[in-house]
Amino acid sequence: MVQETITNPLLTERQRREREFYDQFAKSAPDTVCFGPIEGGERRPWNAHWTVHEAVLARFTSPSQRILDFGCGPGLASVAYAKMGYDVFGFDLSPSNVAHATQLARKYGVSHRTHFTVQTAESLTYPAEWFDVIAGLDILHHVDISRAVAQCMRVLKPGGVALFAEPLEVPPFDAIRNTGLVRWLVPNHKSFDRHITCDERKLTAADLETIRQHSSHVSLRRFLVLSRLDRFIRPTERKTPSALERLDYYLFRLFPPLEALGGYGVLTLTKD
């Protein structure tokens, strides 16, 4: 049974649209979890999602630790965190996503370490200062950032860390990306196939400043310059490391100013 916790049953129009999209999207959600980032046999410091998983794993010290999968979606990351040994809590706006996450945890034998509820990121019901770690993959650009990050910091323990992987606006690239010709050639409107909702938007410099207002310790590591081309030349089903992601990683190390052009980032927020 899906447990639904609703602190404010009156969803905004944006939240209703997001819920409807993900209730439909969940019907085709993956049911196979990749455990590569947590198995220890391989590292991919050039991949943002792997970077978050490796950071979460590095902070695991005890099965009593609680982690919040912030906007858990269909539960892929939640199951990986449970396999690490965490006591995992996940929430999502979509009841269908939560149902999928619950079934996925059962499939992988981690139901006893996972707890899923239907909630909104802006109005969480968890106790204050309750989580040791918070992790979110591609969630902040779907929500009211100020309210969601405020809730994140409320439920995070002092000394705890919140990690988010998010798309970032890069004005030189996005000005070109949003021209009529490029949008015609490479559409970026609502699409289940491309996993794009009608309300999502990349994090801007103003959004990053808003996040910094909620945490005195925020770091940002950027990814994705040449690897933007992967979507055109790399099959989506390929699981091997991306050569362009790796090239970006070494270019950033050799020429740090290039990182400002990175269109994807991992944010680390630490609570005093």
In this prediction, residue 7 carries a pLDDT of: 43
Confidence bin at 39 (pLDDT 50/70/90): confident
Tally of CB atoms within 10 A around 184: 8
Task: Provide mean pLDDT across the span 172-197.
Answer: 74
- Mean pLDDT, rounded, of the chain: 92
Which domains are present in the chain?
3-270 (3.40.50.150)
Q: What is the pLDDT of residues 102-157, one digit of tens each?
A: 999 999 999 999 999 999 999 999 999 999 999 999 999 999 999 999 999 999 99
pTM: 0.93
